[in-house]
């Protein structure tokens, strides 16, 4: 397993999920095997957390298959704004 680059993962998430914000953190020490991601997309509107995760996992199946670990937080734009407000309070 060679992993994938942070940039490629970010680009893939933006394109395939029509994400307006993506944050990718390489937690593998630079080898490209483990990532924590935040994804903000209108495509998540009306979906439960489980449905969002399933959508990401299915849509990016080939990229995720190259990784050892993939942790995601998926938000709608409104949820993301609320999350940011909560962090600044």
Answer yes or no: is 49 within a domain.
yes
Answer yes or no: is 1 within a domain.
no
Answer yes or no: is 73 within a domain.
yes
Q: What is the tens place of the pLDDT at every residue in 29-85?
A: 878 899 999 999 999 999 999 999 999 999 999 999 999 999 999 999 999 999 988
Whole-model pTM: value is 0.90
Structural domain boundaries enclosing 40: 6-88
pLDDT the model gives residue 47: 97
Say which CATH number the domain at 24 has: 3.30.300.90
Q: What's the first-to-final CA gap in the chain, in angstroms? A: 42
> Number of folded domains in the chain?
1
pLDDT the model gives residue 2: 64
Take residue 5 and report the two structure tokens written for it: 């680059």
pLDDT the model gives residue 1: 46
Give the sheet arrangement for strand 69-75, strand by strand: 19-26, 34-41, 69-75
pLDDT the model gives residue 32: 83
Answer yes or no: is 21 within a domain.
yes
Q: How would DSSP label each residue in 37-52? A: EEEEEGGGTT--HHHH
């Amino acid at each position: 397993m060679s992993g994938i680059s942070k940039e490629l993962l970010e680009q893939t998430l933006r394109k395939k999920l029509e994400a307006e914000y993506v944050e990718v953190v390489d937690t593998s020490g630079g080898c490209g095997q483990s990532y924590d991601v935040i994804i903000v997309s209108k495509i998540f509107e009306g979906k439960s957390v489980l449905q969002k995760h399933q959508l990401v996992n299915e849509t990016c199946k080939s990229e995720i298959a190259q990784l050892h670990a993939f942790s995601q937080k998926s938000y709608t734009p409104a949820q993301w704004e609320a999350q940011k407000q909560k962090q600044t309070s």
